[in-house]
Amino acid sequence: MVTLAAAPFDLSFDPSSTALIVIDMQRDFIEPGGFGAALGNDVTPLQAIVPTVARLLALARRHGLPVIHTRECHMPDLSDCPPTKRDRGAPDLRIGDAGPMGRILIVGEPGAEIVPDLAAIEGELVIDKPGKGAFYATPLGEHLADLGISTLFFAGVTTEVCVQTTMREANDRGFYSLLIEDATESYFPAFKTATLEMIRAQGAIVGWTAPLAALEGALDG
């Protein structure tokens, strides 16, 4: 067992039953011209965490932790994208529309791909998900069960939407969950702060949070 200095209290975990899930580090959310920018957001804060997520990936790979990447994207005919999702708000480009990186959030389009610096390597699972949570309408639960996983480390974007949703799904399924604080980001700084507080409130009601340096110290010794 390894013990990590985390909030709201230390987390002990067995690396042999721990996996890393990197949520939606896609060009459509992180690069100019993608869906995040079409919604009127400044993508700079999300770009800034790419080196930290790369460090986290290197750490997980070095210690043999299974790595799972997710991509939020939809079928070309939008059959898995309900109108309540596509028609929400007033973005410059909606899901499925043609943008600078192909059709927005459509499987197989350039914008739906993970940014090159964080691309999956051979043996790492990439899950395409139609919803905010990574367990919804995907094989993630079965994959984790096959691996015998009980603890999950999380990174990615955005903190308050897809990351938090997946952590809450994981909590309901009995996983211990840790969010790496500097490997996640939101377009809205206050939303990230509030989400971190919600996750670890009431004795880790959803999970734990810790900076990457703490996890590096715990695993690398």
Say which of 28, 81, 129, 192 is annotated catalytic.
Answer: 129
Contacts of 136 (CB under 8 A, 6+ apart): 129, 130, 169
d(C-alpha 3, C-alpha 211), whole Å: 14
User: Which pair of tokens denotes residue 119?
Assistant: 């691309």
**Catalytic status, residue 73:** no
Say which of 24, 73, 132, 192 is annotated catalytic.
Answer: 24
**Catalytic status, residue 162:** yes
| Count of beta carbons in the 10 Å neighbourhood of residue 82 | 13
Angle at 72 between CA 70 and CA 85, to 5 degrees: 150
Give the up-direction half-sphere exposure of residue 175: CA atoms within 13 A in the CB hemisphere. 27
Count of residues making up the chain: 221
- Looking up tokens 């994207």 gives 73
Which amino acid is it at 14? D
**Catalytic status, residue 81:** no
Residue 171 near residue 177 (C-beta atoms within 8 A): yes
Say which of 28, 73, 162, 192 is annotated catalytic.
Answer: 162
The 8-class DSSP code of residue 77 comes to T
Active centre residues (catalytic): 24, 129, 162
